[in-house]
Amino acid sequence: MNVIQPAPLLDARTRVLDAAEDLIIDRGVSRLTIEAAARGAGVSKGGLLYHFASKEALLEAMLRRRSDFIAAEFEHCVRSQAEGPGRVARAMIEWGFGTGEFACDDRHERAAAVFLAAFHHDPALLDPIRAVVTKMREAVAADGLTAGHGAAIMAAGDGLFMAKIFSLYKPTEAERAEMRVALIRLLEPAS
C-alpha cells in the first residue's frame, strides 16, 4: 500500500471508467471486479465506491459514456455524407467498412467490451443502446431506399461488429473493401 503513483492526469472518475474497460479488454468480462478496477485506476475500493455507488452504477456509467459517444459519432458520420436518398445507409457503410475518419477502431472495441460486461450483469442495462439502435433503424427506414435495403446494410455492419466482439474472424482490408463495394450496390433502387 501507499505505493507512489504517477501524477494522475485525469480525474479519478474517468480513470476508473477507463481502467474498467481496460480490464475487460485484456482480462475478460469475468475479471471485471470493482476491486480490480479500483486498483487499475490507482484508487482504493472505497474511493471507487465514492464515485460509483455500486457495481451496477459503475456499469451504467460506462455504458452511458460509450453509447453517448457512439450516437454522437454516428450522427457526425451521417452529416458528413452528401444529402439525398441513402444518406444514412452510406454513413453506415463508411462506418463499418470504410477506411477514413469513421472506420471502426479501438473505440468500437471498447464499446463492445462495455456492452458485454453490462449485458452480463443485467441485460436490462443495455436499454440505452437499444434506444440508440432504435433511432438508427428509424433513420434507415426513412432514408429513401428500397424497403429493406438499408436494414440489410445495417445488419451487415452489425455482423462485422459481432465478429469483432467475439473474435470470430478478422476480415482483411481487401475483404472489407470488397464487402463495401457489394453493399454500395444496395443503395441503387431495385430494378
Partner DNA sequence: ATTGATATACCGTCTGGACGGTATATATTG
Partner DNA sequence: CAATATATACCGTCCAGACGGTATATCAAT
| Residues at the interface with its own copies (CB under 8 A) | 28-30, 115-116, 119-123, 126, 129-130, 133-134, 137, 146-149, 151-152, 154-163, 165-169, 171, 175, 177-183, 185-186, 190
32 binds DNA (CB under 7 A): yes
Which residues, numbered 79-138, are part of the site for DNA (CB under 7 A)?
none
Other C-beta atoms closer than 10 Å to the C-beta of 178 total 13
Binding site partner of 32, from its own copies, DNA, none, Cβ cut-off 5-8 A by kind: DNA
When the beta carbons of 34 and 165 are compared against DNA, the nearer one is 34
Residues 6-25 that bind DNA (CB under 7 A): 11-13
**Gyration radius (Cα) of the chain, Å:** 19
Q: Sketch the per residue contact string, 40 through 79, with DNA: x for CB under 7 A, - otherwise.
A: --xxxxxx-xxx-xxxx-----------------------
Other Cβ atoms within 10 Å of 155 Cβ, number: 11
Which residues are within 8 A (CB) of 40 and not within 5 positions of it... i.e. 6 or more apart?
A: 19, 20, 22, 23
- 12 or 165: CB nearest its own copies: 165
Q: Select the binding partner of residue 9 from its own copies, DNA, none (C-beta < 5 to 8 A, by kind).
A: none
Helix (H) or strand (E) holding 76: helix 55-79
The CA–CA distances, whole Å, from 48 to 34, 62, 183 equal 7, 13, 45
Burial 86-97 (b: 16+ CB within 10 A, else e): bbbbbbbbbbbb
- Contact of residue 110 among its own copies, DNA, none (CB under 5-8 Å per partner type): none
Dig out the grid coordinates for 55 from the structure. Answer: 457495481
**Residue 75 C-beta: closest distance to its own copies, Å:** 18
Which stretch, 30-38, 64-72, 90-98, 146-154, contacts DNA (CB under 7 A)?
Answer: 30-38
Residue for grid cell 485506476: 41
Packed helices 87-97 and 149-165: angle between N→C axes, nearest 10 degrees: 20
Interface residues with DNA (CB under 7 A)? 1-2, 11-13, 31-36, 38, 42-47, 49-51, 53-56
